[in-house]
Amino acid sequence: MYMVEKALREDESMLELKGVTIDFGGLRALDGVDLNICQGEIFGIIGPNGSGKSTLFNIATGFLVPRSGQVAYRGRSITGWKPHRIAALGIGRVFQSNSLFPNFSVKENLIRSGFMRLTTGFLGSFFNTRRFRSENRELEEKAVELSRFVGLEERVDTLAKNLPYGEQRRLEIAIALGPDPDLLFLDEPVTGMNPTETASVMELIRSIQKGGRTIVIVEHNMRVIMGICSRIAVISFGTKIAEGNPEEIAHNDKVISVYLGTRKIDAAY
Amino acid sequence: MRYKYVIFVLLLALAVVAPVVVDNEYFTHVLVLTYIFAIFALSYDLVIGGMGQISLGQQAFLGVGAYVSAILSSKLGVPVWLCLFAAVFAAGAVGLFIGCVSLRIRGAYLAIVTLGFAMILWMIAMGWRAVTNGQMGIREIPPLVIGLPFLPRIEFDSPGKYYYLALVFLLFTIYFISRLMKSRLGMAITALRENEDRSAILGIGAFVHFLSAFTISAALAGFAGFAYVHYIAFVDPKILSQYYMITGLIMVIVGGTTTIGGPIVGALIFFFLPEWLRIAQEARLILFGAMLLIFNTLMPQGIYPASLALRRFVLERGWRRQQ
C-alpha cells in the first residue's frame, strides 16, 4: 500500500497524457483521454475490443500523432516525436502481434536490441579496433544475460521464426528490455497462452517491475490484470470511464455495464 | 569458421594464377569485367539485400562515377588517382541527394523514383554535349598509372596488367562490405529490413540509416564506374541506361542477395555463361535467358546461398551415415 501511495505523488509522475484525441477518417478513436502513470507502478489498461487501447499505446510511443492533447514524459512534452527518439528516452514496447526479427537467431535479435549502446562508428568496425570488439562483446554478453532472464538460454541459436509461440512472446519481452527502458509498454503479452505460460509471464512481468521499471499493460485476461496491476484504467469507445485500484474497478458499475451490459430486462418491466 | 577462410584462400589463389594458367587475353578481359561488375553488384546488393529496398537507379551512380572520372582525367588532365576520390565523392553526393528525396517512401514508389532520377542523369549525359560529348561519348580516357618514386612506372593499359588491380579493387570491396555489415550501420539496416516498427522502438531510425547506407552504396557504385571507365578507356550515355541496372539486378538476384559470395557468383555467371554458350551461336541469348529462368525457379534464394545449403545437406548426411 505504501508503494502505491508513494507512487501517486504528483512529482513522481512518469508519463502524462492530457486530453489526447485522435480521429481515423471521421471515427473518433480516442476522445480527451487523461492518464497519469507513476514511477514504479504496473498500470493496467482494459476495455472492450476496439475501444482504443492500442491506439493509446501507439500515441504514447510515437507511432501515431494525436489530433489534440499532450503527451509528456518526465515533465517534458514528447507530442509528435518520432518513435526512435521516444525510444531513446527510455521508453520500450512489446507489440501486440509478433514483431521480432524473424530471420535472425534469438541471440542476433537480442544483440540488435542493444543497438543504442553502440557508439563506435564505421571506422571502428573497418579497422576492427579494440573498442569496437569490446563493445560487441558486451552486447553479446548482455544478449545472453537477457536470454537467461526470460528462460531462453538454450535457444540462443534458434531462428526467431522457428520458436514456439510462447517463447516468441518471451523473446519479444526480452527484446523490449534490451535498450534498458525505464517505462515499458506491454500490449497483450499473454494472448493465446495456456494457464501455465500465463503464470510464468506474470512472474516475469513482476520481476521486471522489481528491477525498477514502470510498466503499462493492456490485456484482456482479467486474472493477469487484477493480479499484477496497482492501478487500472478502463477505456470504452475512446473515453476513459473509470480509474482506480483493482478492487475499485471490479466493483465499478460503469465497468460492469460495459463488459456485461446493463440490466435492460428490468427496465422493460 | 576456419573452413570458410581456407576456401577463401584457395579461391584467391585460383584467381591469382588464373590469367597465367589460361594465358588468353580475352579470358583475362572477361575476368576483369567480372571483377568490376562484381563491385557494382555488391554495391547494389547493399540496397537490395542489406536494406531490403528496391532501387532501380543504381546505374546512375555507376554512370556518375564513370563520367566524373572520364571528364576530369581526359578533358582537364587531373591525375587519375585524384579522379578516384572525385568519382566516389560525386557518386556519393548524388546518392545522398537522390536518397534524401526518395527514401521517405518505400516499395514500388522508391523503385520508380530512383529509376526516374537515373533517367534524368541519362538525359543530361545525352544532352550536355559541351561536357559529355553527348552520344559520341568520351574517348581516350587515360589508363590508371602507379608512379611511385624509385619504382618503375606501371601503366594499367592492358587486361593482363589491369587484372591484378581489379582483383585488389574487388578484395577491398569485399572487406569493406563485410566490415560494413558488422558495423552499427549494418546492424541498423538489417534490423530495419526485418522489421521497421520493432527497430524504431529499439531506437533505430529508418531514414537516417537508410540514407547513410544508400549513400555508401552509391559511392561504391561510383568506384565501380571509375574502375570500369579507366579500363575500357571510353564512356558513353549507355552506362546510365537501364541495361546496367538490369545487369546488376541479374547478378544480385541470380547469385543470391544478402551474401557477399552471391553477387560475385552472379557476376561470374553473367559474364561466363554467354561465353560458354558460344557453341550454340544463334541460340546463345535465348539459352542464356532460359538458364537464368531455370536458376531462379530452382534456386529462388540465389545460386550462392543454395550451394551453401547443399553443402550443409551433404555434410549432415555424411555425418549421419557415419553414426
Tens-digit pLDDT profile for residues A70-113: 999 998 999 999 999 999 999 999 987 767 898 899 999 999 99
Contact check, Cβ <8 Å, A84/B187: no
Contact check, Cβ <8 Å, A122/B179: yes
Whole-angstrom Cα distance, residue A240 to residue B8? 63
pLDDT tens-place string over residues A248-268:
888 888 888 887 776 555 544
Write out the E strands in chain A: 13-24, 27-38, 42-46, 68-73, 76-77, 91-94, 183-187, 214-218, 231-236, 239-244
Note whether residue B148 is domain-resident: yes
pLDDT value, residue B160: 86
Instruction: List the Cα angle B238/B243/B247 in 5-degree steps.
Output: 130
pLDDT value, residue A263: 58
> Which residue is associated with the grid cell 534458434?
A158
ipTM score above 0.90: no
Note whether residue B313 is domain-resident: yes
Q: What residues of chain A, 85 to 124, have a C-beta less than 8 Å from chain B?
A: 85, 87-88, 92-93, 95, 99-104, 111-113, 115-116, 118, 120-122, 124
Note whether residue B7 is domain-resident: no
Q: Which portions of chain B are predicted below pLDDT 70? A: 1, 318-323
Distance from the Cα of residue B4 to its chain's centroid: 22
Distant-in-sequence, close-in-space partners of B72: CB < 8 Å, separation ≥ 6: B78, B82, B83, B86
B105-140 residues labelled b (16+ CB within 10 A) or e (exposed): ebeeebbebbbebbbebbebbeeeeeebbeeebbee
Note whether residue B12 is domain-resident: no
Note whether residue B2 is domain-resident: no
Chain A, nearest residue to B208 by Cα = A84
How confident is the prediction for chain A on average, in pLDDT?
86
Contact check, Cβ <8 Å, B180/A122: yes
Note whether residue B108 is domain-resident: yes
Given a cut of 70, whether residue A4 has pLDDT beyond it is: no
Note whether residue B4 is domain-resident: no
Query: Which of A103, A115, A126 shows the shortest C-beta gap to B203?
Result: A115
Contact check, Cβ <8 Å, A87/B182: no
Which three three-digit cell numbers place residue B36?
Answer: 568490376
Chain B, nearest residue to A122 by Cα = B183
Which three three-digit cell numbers place residue A51?
Answer: 475501444
pLDDT tens-place string over residues A106-163:
999 999 998 988 888 888 888 888 888 999 999 999 999 999 999 898 999 999 999 9
pLDDT value, residue A189: 87
Phi first, then psi, for residue B141 (nearest 5°) are -80, 130
Q: All domains of chain A, ordered by start, with CATH?
A: 1-90+182-269 (3.40.50.300), 103-180 (no CATH)
Contact in structure between B113 and B100 (CB atoms under 8 Å): no
Distant-in-sequence, close-in-space partners of A211: CB < 8 Å, separation ≥ 6: none
Note whether residue B150 is domain-resident: yes
pTM of the model: 0.89
Q: Is A228 helix (H, G, I), strand (E, B) or coil?
A: helix
- DSSP class of residue B141 equals P
Write out the E strands in chain B: 144-146, 154-156
Query: Which of B186, B198, B203 shows the shortest C-beta gap to A101?
Result: B198
Contact in structure between A227 and A199 (CB atoms under 8 Å): no
Which three three-digit cell numbers place residue B28?
Answer: 583475362
Domain that holds residue B37: 25-322
Residues of A in contact with B201 (CB under 8 A): 61, 83-84, 87, 92-93, 95, 176
Residue A269 at interface with chain B, using a CB cutoff of 8 Å: no
Give how far B301 is from chain A: nearest CA, Å.
14
Domain count, chain B: 1
Residues of A in contact with B191 (CB under 8 A): 101, 112, 115
Give how far A111 is from chain B: nearest CA, Å.
9
CATH number of the domain that B256 lies in? 1.10.3470
pLDDT value, residue A221: 86
